[in-house]
Every structure is written in C-alpha cells, then in structure tokens.
C-alpha cells in the first residue's frame, strides 16, 4: 500500500481524490452507493450568501463525451447551509470543503465569513469561474483585477485554507493564477467548465434555457491537463487538477502534470462510486511501479 496522503496548504488529505462541486451534492446523496470516508475530500454544492433559484429548465444538454449545464448556482444560501446541512455532514470522516460563489467581492466575503465559523470545515473553494450566472461568477475569474479583488476581500474574512477555482475561458490562465497567489490564495483548482452551446435543429433553437452552458466531461480533459501543467510550473502554491477525469490513468496524468490533488466531476454521474475506484487505481499503479508515495510523482512529467 503506497502512501496516498497529500497536502493542500495546511490541509492534509488522506488521498488525492476529491469530488467536484455541483456534481456530488453534499455527499449524502451518494452514501448508499459509495463509502464517503474513502474519498480524499468532498467539495459540496456552490453556496452563496443569499438563496438562489438558479436558471430555468432545460439546464443540460448532452454531447458525445460530456455535457453542457447551466444550473446557475441554485442553492438555499449560506445560512441554510450552516443551520441545516453542516450538522449533517460535519462528522463525515473526510475533508468537507465548501464551494463559495457571489455577486460582488463583499458578497463572497460575507459568505466566506459565515463558513469561517464552522469548526469542521477546514477549507473553502472560491468559484470565480461559473459561466452560468450574469452577476459575478465568471465575470470575476476572467480578469486579473476581478480575480484579485475577490480573493483580497475573502482573504480578510477567511483564515483557513483558501482554494481559488479558475476559469478556462481566458486567454492567459497563468496570469490569473499568479494574481490570486499574490493575494494570498493557498491553492488554485482548475478547471471549471468551458463555455459552449448546442442547437436543436428541429426547433431551430439553442437547447439550454439561457442559450449557453458549461462543458464538462472527458471531452475537456486535454485542455484542462494542459492548463494544469502550465499553471503548476508558474505558481508556488499547490494546484488541484480537474476536468474530464474518469479513471486512475486520467488522475495520474493530472498529478504528473503538477496537480497535488484532483477532483472528479461529471464522471460521478456515470459511476457514482468512481472516486473510490480512482483512489484505489492510483494506489495500484504506485505499488506496481514501486513508488512509495503519491507525492513522488507530482509534476514529474517533462
């Protein structure tokens, strides 16, 4: 058995496999079919200061190897999270991480401040990259100034591990990563979804209710992998890699590209138990190659 533990700032994960926000609920939805404690970390649904209804149906469209979604951050708000959800998930024996979104730097900071009070939540992931809301989300993640302003505000309100989730819908992701590092982020995770669309030719109409949506799944993997490789070589904070991971081989590619941990998103829909299988598969690969610790292969790809 290889050593699978890995670090994201002050956070120690028992293994490098986490589940991505918006694809694994609060974890509880999956507990019948997967051992939650065998997952390295669970990043729960996007949470905002105020409750949000999200976008209208239809919110998804399928592609041959992925999907588009325009959920639009539907959630019951941070107060509901703290009062109703947190008590149910705080004792799950894995790192429970909250994905935070907002419509202004102050809004993000208010939400983060509430979560800062929760003893058993040791990290947040800031979503400055949601392509499906007009007010905020990706608007912040696509410019150096926007990204910096959110991280600066949140850093003052939040003193535990701060992960910033980057948008791939930019010309130069490295400059954004460096900017959030300079503002005090403890880690960056990438990528969020790629903006796309699809058309129903019979109805002569775009399929999603708001016209566009975020693309995820195996089809985005090469783009995500390239970005993880570039960013991890440009920053000194740990990088979390995601985008299209659906096997241990995919995960090891991201780790070799420079990721200290990985997240699995859309693949949970095909196999709700995939995260545990990927963690086991990484272990088997390490053993088969006589590698003692997963840390020994982070960033080894030339």
Partner 1 sequence: MALKKHIVDLQVVSREELGDRFVLLKCTDANAPLPPMMPGQFAQLRVDGSKETFLRRPISINFVDLKSNQVWFLIQLVGAGSRALGRLQAGDLLNALLPLGNGFSMPVSADTKVLLVGGGVGTAPLLYMGAQMKLMGMKPTFLLGARTADMLLQLEEFQKVGDVYVTTEDGSAGEKGFVTQHSILFKEHFDRISVCGPSPMMKAVAKYARANSIPCEVSLENMMACGLGACLCCVEKTTKGNVCVCTEGPVFDINELTWE
Rounded least distance, CB 264 to ligand FMN, Å: 6
- Start-to-end CA distance of the chain, whole Å, equals 26
Q: Which of 16, 40, 41, 66 binds partner 1 (CB under 8 A)?
A: 66
Rounded least distance, CB 174 to partner 1, Å: 30
Tokens of 115: 């979560």
Query: Any residues with CB less than 8 A from the CB of 222 and at least 6 apart, and which?
Result: none
Tokens of 42: 């669970």
Rounded least distance, CB 168 to partner 1, Å: 20
* 272 near partner 1, rule: CB under 8 A: yes
Q: Report d(CA 215, CA 53) in Å as an integer.
A: 21
259: left (phi > 0), else alpha (psi -120 to 50), else beta? beta
* 33 near partner 1, rule: CB under 8 A: yes
* 53 near partner 1, rule: CB under 8 A: yes
Paired sense of beta strands 161-165 and 187-190, if any: parallel
Contacts to partner 1 from residues 75-114, by CB under 8 A: none
Tokens of 22: 């918006």
Nearer CB in complex with ligand FMN: 187/266: 266
Judged by CB under 8 A, the stretch of 131-139, 158-166, 221-229, 269-277 that binds partner 1 is 269-277
Rounded least distance, CB 228 to ligand FMN, Å: 12
β-partners of residue 47 are: 100
* 62 near partner 1, rule: CB under 8 A: yes
Q: Are 21 and 48 spatial neighbours (Cβ–Cβ below 8 Å)? A: no
Which partner in partner 1, ligand FMN, none is near 106 (CB below 5 to 8 A by kind)? none
Nearer CB in complex with ligand FMN: 129/230: 129
Strand (E) or helix (H) holding 42: strand 41-47
- What residues are labeled active site? 130
Residues near ligand FMN (CB under 6 A): 20-23, 45-46, 69, 71, 73, 99, 127, 130, 165, 192-193, 216-217, 220, 242-245, 264-267
For residue 86, how far is the Cα from the chain centroid? 19
Residue nearest to ligand FMN (CB): 22
Q: Which of 5, 9, 54, 118 binds partner 1 (CB under 8 A)?
A: 54
- List the one residue out of 73, 178, 224 whose CA is nearest residue 134: 73
Binding residues for partner 1, how many (CB under 8 A)?
A: 31
Strand (E) or helix (H) holding 161: strand 161-165
Q: Are 223 and 68 spatial neighbours (Cβ–Cβ below 8 Å)? A: no
Nearer CB in complex with ligand FMN: 2/40: 40
Contact residues toward partner 1 (CB under 8 A) are: 22-25, 29-30, 32-33, 45, 53-54, 57-60, 62-67, 69, 71, 74, 217, 268-273
């Amino acid at each position: 058995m290889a050593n699978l533990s890995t670090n994201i700032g002050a956070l120690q994960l028992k293994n490098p496999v986490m589940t991505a926000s918006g694809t694994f609920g609060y974890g509880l939805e999956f507990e019948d079919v997967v051992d939650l404690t065998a997952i390295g970390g669970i990043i729960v649904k996007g949470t905002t200061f105020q409750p949000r209804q999200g976008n209208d149906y239809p919110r998804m469209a399928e592609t041959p190897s992925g999907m588009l979604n325009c959920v639009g951050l539907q959630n019951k708000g941070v107060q509901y999270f703290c009062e109703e959800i947190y008590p149910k998930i705080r004792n799950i024996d894995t790192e429970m991480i909250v994905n935070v979104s907002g419509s202004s730097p102050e809004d993000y900071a208010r939400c983060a401040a509430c979560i800062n009070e929760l003893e058993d939540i040791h990290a947040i992931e800031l979503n400055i990259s949601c392509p499906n809301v007009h007010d905020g989300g990706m608007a912040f993640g696509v410019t150096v100034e926007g990204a910096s302003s959110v991280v600066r505000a949140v850093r003052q309100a939040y003193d535990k591990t701060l992960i910033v989730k980057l948008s791939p819908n930019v010309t130069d992701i490295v400059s954004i990563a460096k900017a959030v590092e300079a503002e005090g982020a403890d880690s960056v995770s990438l990528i969020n979804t790629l903006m796309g669309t699809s058309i129903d030719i019979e109805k002569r109409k775009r399929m999603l209710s708001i016209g566009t949506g975020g693309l995820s799944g195996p089809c985005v993997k090469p783009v995500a992998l390239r970005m993880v490789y570039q960013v991890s070589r440009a920053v000194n904070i740990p990088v979390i890699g995601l985008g299209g991971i659906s096997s241990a081989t995919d995960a090891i590619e991201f780790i070799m590209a420079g990721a200290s941990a990985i997240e699995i998103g859309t693949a949970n829909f095909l196999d709700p138990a995939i995260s545990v299988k990927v963690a086991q598969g990484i272990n088997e690969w390490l053993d088969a190659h006589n590698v003692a610790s997963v840390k020994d292969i982070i960033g080894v790809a030339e």
